[in-house]
Each structure stands twice: as C-alpha cells, then as structure tokens.
C-alpha cells in the first residue's frame, strides 16, 4: 500500500514514520520517497491502521 505524506520532508520525518509503522507491525517493510513525499508499506495490517501509525508520528497521510 502507498500513502502520500505531504509534510514529510527529511530523514527525521521518514525515521519517525518508519518507527511508528514497525511498532504496529515489526515485520512491515517501509520505503519512503522524499521527493514524491510518499511512503510505501508492505504489511498484513489494514491501511487504516497504517494511517493511524503515521498520524501517531505526527503526519497526515492519504492513500495514493
């Protein structure tokens, strides 16, 4: 699944988002593209749970 994270702009942002997603699912594979401001996540968790994890990191996310 892929999400647009408009406020994501640096390595700290991606680290915070990755930390929250892997807390939700330690087996998740998280890939961030700062230029496109997207996060791609491979997980068995529902997309709503991933969006909540991104929000917990302090960022708004929308499915792409």
**Burial (Cβ within 10 Å: 0-12, 13-18, ≥19) of residue 17:** buried
pLDDT tens readout for residues 11-31: 999 999 999 999 999 999 999
What CATH number corresponds to the domain at position 41?
3.30.70.100
Overall pTM > 0.85: yes
Cβ–Cβ < 8 Å for 30, 17 = yes
Rg (CA), the chain: 10
How many structural domains comprise the chain? 1
Give the pLDDT confidence score for residue 36 in this predicted structure. Answer: 97
Residue 55 structural domain: 2-63
């Amino acid at each position: 699944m892929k999400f647009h994270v408009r406020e994501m702009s640096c390595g700290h942002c991606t680290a915070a988002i990755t930390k929250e997603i892997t807390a939700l699912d330690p087996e998740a594979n998280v890939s961030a593209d700062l230029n496109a401001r997207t996060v791609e996540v491979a997980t068995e968790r529902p997309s709503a749970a991933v969006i909540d994890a991104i929000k917990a990191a302090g960022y708004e996310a929308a499915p792409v």
